[in-house]
Amino acid sequence: MLRRKMGNIGFESSVLLFGGAKLGSVTQDEADRSIAFALEHGVNHIDTAASYGDSEVRLGKWMPEIRKDVFLATKTAHRGWKEAKEEIYRSLTRLRTDTIDLLQLHAVGTIEELDKCMSAGGALEAALEAKEEGLVRHIGITGHGHSAPAVHLEALRRFAFETVLTPFNYYLYGLPEYRQSFDALVEETKRREVPLRVIKAVAKGPWAVGQTRNHATWYEPFDDQRTIDACVHYALSHEGIHGFASAGDIQLFPKIAAAVEKFGTMDDAEARALLAAIPEYGSPFGAPTSIA
């Protein structure tokens, strides 16, 4: 499994993050098989969230055994200090650990959400307090939507976030405004040595109305191996991207891991040609509007 250094944090992380959303509504046995598979294939970075159903509980069973071997990240979607601090304590209990490597302010995709997090008595104050208490080691930010890269760039201007997790794939990067804001975010994260990780690398688009949903993801993912290979190649070959979080479906994870393991066997032109030829490709966030 390919690993890359996480900027100033220094951790040699697998480029594939084990996305904890996939464990939100599965049994412990199903979770155990998926976690064991990830570890056997060299994944050493786990990225979950308090809002991902039972994910933290499913992972918590494993922490006494593997905690020292993995980079453990979770998230809080609360915007106020009190609620966020309570959630941090809850995450520690559910994950059965004394310290979280990375706490991320979750789903910050608009300036309004950023303002709430960074206001007096906001979630950022709770994160900073938890860091001072030794409960978390690093503080990051995540977000969804077409404005996420621009919002995360503004977040870095306001505060020294230590990681960024933002959407990226072939379709999104093809949107001129999105490309411009994403490129600016890449330049800033490179300058600060902040690891930039991405989400939605294998997202095909929103589920169609009435479509049978055969995956647990809230968006429709690609599920054939060749297209997943191209999506993964496109993300990992993009300058400035340290890694990506796997899609929230345990059935897709082996295919995504396989694509990472064969990274480098597909060239850039081949990947772009394959992705460009998909007529139904779209944004998981729906039709784009003006980007902040």
Which residues are catalytic, by number? 52
Task: Report the half-sphere exposure of 89 (CA within 13 A, side-chain side).
Answer: 8
Exposure string (b/e) for 187-209, b if CB count within 10 Å is 16 or more?
ebbeebebbbbbbbbbbbbbeee
Query: Burial of 36 by CB count in 10 Å (0-12 exposed, 13-18 middle, 19+ buried)?
Result: exposed
Q: What is the DSSP letter of 280?
A: T
Q: Token pair of 244, please?
A: 């990506």
Helix/strand/coil (H, E, C) string of 142-195? ECCCCCHHHHHHHHHHHCCCCEEEEECCHHHHCCHHHHHHHHHHHHHHHHHCCC
